[in-house]
Amino acid sequence: MQKLQIPCICGLVITSSLAAAAGDTARITPVVKAVQQVMPSVVNISTEQMVQVSDPFALFFNDFFGRHLARYEKESIPLGSGVVVCCGGLVVTNYHVVSRASQTLIRFLDGRQSAARLIAYDAANDLALLKVESDLGKTELHGVEFGLPGDLMLGETVVAVGNPFGLGHTVTDGVLSAKNRSLTEGRVTFNDIIQTDAAINPGNSGGPLINLDGELIGLNIAIRRDAEGIGFAIPMSRIEAILARWLVPSRFSLAACGLIPETVVEEGKPHVIVAEIEPGSPIAATPLEVGVTLVTVNGKAVSRAVDVSRILWRLRPGDNLKIQTATGGKVETRIGTMSPDRLVRRRLGLQLQELTPALTQALGLSEDLQGLAISEVLPESEFAAVKARRGDIIVSIGGKSARNMDDVFEALRGLIPGDSVGVVLIAVESIRGRTFLRRFPLTVPLN
């Protein structure tokens, strides 16, 4: 153990040890160990905006040259926190943290910083998924360890890590105060919320709540403003279930797989089952069935849905997928390419159909109008937000005419969630037997 001899004014010599560096000190408590484990996974989230710089000569220059010479600089505005869920550069946070950010920046413990793309979000559950945009996303980042869904003990010590008031990577600890609390946010009521007395402040939102094993058990979401020591977090069970639907190949490329996993805990031990198989997918063409327990995926042992998801999201069209089940069964298939219909449904949240002469006549449209008719608008689609309806017509996408599904496929094939595409929509309205058309140019963010 290294020691320092520190002389004092009074002539005494104080011996100070650097035992902490050697790891043989009582200061290395379970809380310290848990924090050391999770810190590389925690990110601070901010955005940039242009602000006018204070200049002592501003009044002089404005008098002579006008205010158009005012100086502006980019300023980083702290938004909240997040946690890396996959070493490939995927970060989960609260949706309310990034919902209004024009450009999202993340910063790691070691000071590295990168832009991040919003890949997926669920406003109702207040969750969002970001992807690191720089070369950092190509490195093996430190993904957080997941706690078991429901493995929570009242009174156990928990730790919150985050970016309160822009003070990056701040640690607070407390106890798990309650489980399954009801919390209403807007029009949505949650009945599975974790309550803790670990200090959670503005800016902690989206940061991890961990147990003493350094495992993620929740995502900090809110505080009760009329009280002290009452904070709330989204539980691991909900986080993992949503990530299982987000971390699929079709969200990151044209790949089609069709497997949705789920974690099941029995007698304290987790295993992963097939929760859902998408019709018409490569997995649907195999003997694999819903409810089957998975043991390995592409040669890697899996016991959690997140284990499977961390493998699936990286797959691309043409890649092999090999699965072994608990009964010894082996399934092998090849990752396919999404059909135009599936791609439109996935990226735009729409079901489209080509304009036939019969459909054109039924809608009361001109025979020379070319485009695709909307037959369904999914509730989560951006088109639902602009009140697009069944029977409206898309005539252009990506700056090119949309005459058929192949045109739409070509416009979307190189884009992924987080990108935007220009769409020209014809709204069809019928009033007293007469058909009126209104043209709307839109910029639509992709799902």
Distance separating alpha carbons of residues 81 and 92, to the nearest angstrom: 9
Strand, helix or coil for residue 36:
helix
Separation in Å, CA 429 to CA 255, 359, 363, 388, 390 = 37, 15, 9, 11, 11
Helices 405-412 and 340-348 sit at what angle, rounded to 10 degrees?
60
Which phi and psi angles does 303 have, rounded to 5°?
-135, -5
Distance separating alpha carbons of residues 418 and 347, to the nearest angstrom: 10
DSSP 40: G
Contact 192, 199 (CB under 8 A): no
**CB-hemisphere CA count at 13 Å for 172?**
20
24 in active site: no
Contact 104, 115 (CB under 8 A): yes
What contacts 182, CB < 8 A, 6 or more positions away?
A: 189, 190, 191, 193
Q: Counting Cβ atoms within 10 Å, is residue 425 exposed (0-12), middle (13-18) or buried (19+)? A: buried
Helices 236-246 and 305-312 sit at what angle, rounded to 10 degrees?
30
Specify whether the backbone of 430 is left (phi greater than 0), alpha (psi in -120 to 50) or beta: beta
17 in active site: no
Catalytic annotation, pick one of 46, 177, 205, 281: 205
Could you tell me how far CA 19 lies from the centroid of its own chain? Answer: 40
DSSP 30: H
Strand, helix or coil for residue 35:
helix
Rounded CA Rg of the chain? 27
Contact 80, 162 (CB under 8 A): yes
96 in active site: yes
User: According to DSSP H, which parts of 23-57 are helical?
Assistant: 30-38
Distance separating alpha carbons of residues 52 and 55, to the nearest angstrom: 9
Strand, helix or coil for residue 7:
strand
Catalytic annotation, pick one of 81, 126, 281, 392: 126
What the block records as the tokens of 196 is 């803790």
Catalytic annotation, pick one of 46, 96, 307, 407: 96
Q: What are the catalytic residues? A: 96, 126, 205
